[in-house]
Structure 1
Amino acid sequence: MPRLPFLSLTCAIAFSVAACDRQSADEAQQQENSAEVKANEELTGTVDRSQAGTPLPAVTVTDPSGTTLDLSKAVGKPVLLNLWATWCAPCVAEMPLLDELAAERADTLRVLTVSEDMKGPELVVPFFKEKKFANLPQWMDQANDLAFGMGGGASLPLTVLYDAEGKEVWRVIGGFDWASDQAREMLDEAAPPADG
Structure 2
Amino acid sequence: MLDQKPSATRRIPLVIATVAIGGLAGFAALYGLGLSRSPSGDPTCKPAVATAQKIAPLAHGEVAALTMASAPLKLPDLAFEDADGKPKKLSDFRGKTLLVNLWATWCVPCRKEMPALDELQGKLAGPNFEVVAINIDTRDPEKPKTFLKEANLTRLGYFNDQKAKVFQDLKAIGRALGMPTSVLVDPQGCEIATIAGPAEWASEDALKLLRAATGKAAASF
Query: TM-score if structure 2 supplies the norm length?
Result: 0.62
1:80-119 correspondence runs (5 A): 80-107=99-126, 108-119=128-139
- Give, in whole Å, the separation in 2 of the partners of 1:185 and 1:52: 23
- The sequence identity of aligned pairs, in percent, is 34
Matched letter for residue 62 of structure 1: E
Counterpart check, 1:144 vs 2:164: yes
- Give, in whole Å, the separation in 2 of the partners of 1:112 and 1:126: 18
- Give, in whole Å, the separation in 1 of the partners of 2:104 and 2:83: 15
Counterpart check, 1:48 vs 2:67: yes
- Give, in whole Å, the separation in 2 of the partners of 1:44 and 1:183: 6
**Cα–Cα, structure 1 residues 190 and 53, in superposed 2: closer, same or farther, change >3 Å?**
farther
Matched letter for residue 76 of structure 2: P
Correspondent of 1:184 among 203, 207, 212: 207
Larger radius of gyration: 1
Q: RMSD of the TM alignment (CA)?
A: 2.2
- Give, in whole Å, the separation in 2 of the partners of 1:70 and 1:53: 21
Counterpart check, 1:159 vs 2:178: no
SS at match of 2:163: coil
Q: Number of residue pairs matched?
A: 152
Matched letter for residue 66 of structure 1: G
Correspondent of 1:72 among 82, 91, 109: 91
SS at match of 2:80: strand
Aligned to 1:31: none
- Give, in whole Å, the separation in 2 of the partners of 1:125 and 1:144: 16
Per-residue deviation, 1:44: 7.9
Aligned to 1:24: none
- Give, in whole Å, the separation in 2 of the partners of 1:72 and 1:132: 29
- Give, in whole Å, the separation in 2 of the partners of 1:63 and 1:191: 24
- Give, in whole Å, the separation in 2 of the partners of 1:167 and 1:44: 20
Per-residue deviation, 1:88: 0.8
Mapped contact 1:55–1:167 kept (Cα < 8 A): yes
Moved over 3 A (4+): 50-53
Query: TM-score if structure 1 supplies the norm length?
Result: 0.69
Mapped contact 1:45–1:173 kept (Cα < 8 A): no
Mapped contact 1:55–1:72 kept (Cα < 8 A): no
What 5-or-longer segments of structure 2 have no aligned partner? Answer: 1-61
- Give, in whole Å, the separation in 2 of the partners of 1:105 and 1:169: 17
Using the TM superposition, name which of 173-182 and 82-91 deviates more.
173-182
**Cα–Cα, structure 1 residues 150 and 47, in superposed 2: closer, same or farther, change >3 Å?**
same
SS at match of 2:65: strand
Mapped contact 1:45–1:172 kept (Cα < 8 A): no
What 5-or-longer segments of structure 1 have no aligned partner? Answer: 1-42
